[in-house]
Homo-oligomer: A and B are copies of this chain.
Amino acid sequence: MRKQEISVEALTKGILKGDNAILAKAITLLESANPNHFEKANAVIENCLSQPNNSVRLGVTGVPGVGKSSFIETLGTTLTSMGKKVAVLAVDPTSSLSKGSILGDKTRMQTLSKDPNAFIRPSPSGNSLGGVAQKTRESIMLCEAAGYDVILVETVGVGQSEIAVHSMVDFFLLLKLSGAGDELQGIKRGIMEMADAIAINKADGTNLERAKLAETEFSRALHLYPPKKNGWVPKVMRCSATENTGIKEIWELVEQFVAQNKENGHFEKNRKTQNKNWFLQTVDEHIKQFFHQRESFKMEQDKMLNAIDNNEISPFYAAKLLLDKITKEL
């Protein structure tokens, strides 16, 4: 028996009502590689975008082992207990490898995943980081339409994915451990420059003294960077996700940041810049789909793949022939 397909109208209505099951279905649709789903997902997104919202988008990054999941679990639970609705999304560049992702299974967030005011979604899979990031951006919009106030976007501290997440959030938080290896210094520099705050996680027990030291060191290091255009001075804080200390203070900092940036106009300005980049990326995605959805394109592409397999043509020349043929047909 075929599963009954849900209509664009039903999806839109369900999302706007805040129905988590429908929200999850809509995100599955937009993550799908099926071209029919692409059209449908676009219609849902368009319907949802007209809704005004007052959300805060918070990016959370840090190397594997820094405790991102427990941090998000504790922060998320703190926020829902304040009456907020919290969505957790992820951008994981490794998830496109079939071998599983660094960020792993979101069911690890045991308390938050049972919370009716929380919505947790693992990283979409995809062939490219760009594709994965694109889908996460669209998921943010759907979550906001569903009434989520705080969108937490988790990523892993290894380079390019930070840039992607930084380009879709209002506030970018870097989690660190005290005394962790300097192996990643080269990367850290670029990522530290993007951070609006650094939180030294696992600042508890025998670790507390080292965490205080790290706090001082990072504060000093941050002063070496040029000031941010929005006038914000990045802060270094300590927290312990397992003992739930310092977490509320981090959220207060985010709120202070949002208030200050709304006041001086940089909040709106940043979102506009992000919107323009989102537009450019969406255009490129649509361009691609415009060709890939054509029957004749698929047939010609398969022919060329065969010819390459038989060593009859170079891949580069095959691409040229395919495009020449298809563009003449338009």
Contacts and interface: CB of A to CB of B under 8 A. Distances in A.
Given A159-B159, A275-B308, A330-B330, A286 B185 contact: no
Nearest to A185: B64
At the interface, is chain A mostly helix, strand, loop or mixed?
helix
Interface in A146-162: 156, 158-161
A45 interface: yes
A102 interface: yes
Contacts of A163: 96-97
Contacts of A186: 64-65, 94, 102, 156
A139 to B, nearest CB: 13
A190 B99 contact: yes
Interface in A269-293: 272, 275-276, 278-280, 282-288, 290-291
Contact of A316 (B93, B99, B141, B187): B141
Interface stretch (A106-114, A176-184, A206-214, A257-265): A176-184
Contact of A187 (B94, B129, B276): B94
Nearest to A307: B279
A52 to B, nearest CB: 11
A315 interface: yes
Interface of A: 42, 45-46, 49-50, 63-65, 93-94, 96-97, 99-100, 102, 128-130, 138, 141, 156, 158-161, 163, 180-187, 189-190, 193, 272, 275-276, 278-280, 282-288, 290-291, 301, 304-305, 308-309, 311, 314-320, 322-323, 327, 330
11 contacts: A64-B184, A64-B185, A64-B187, A65-B186, A94-B159, A96-B163, A99-B189, A129-B129, A183-B184, A275-B314, A279-B305
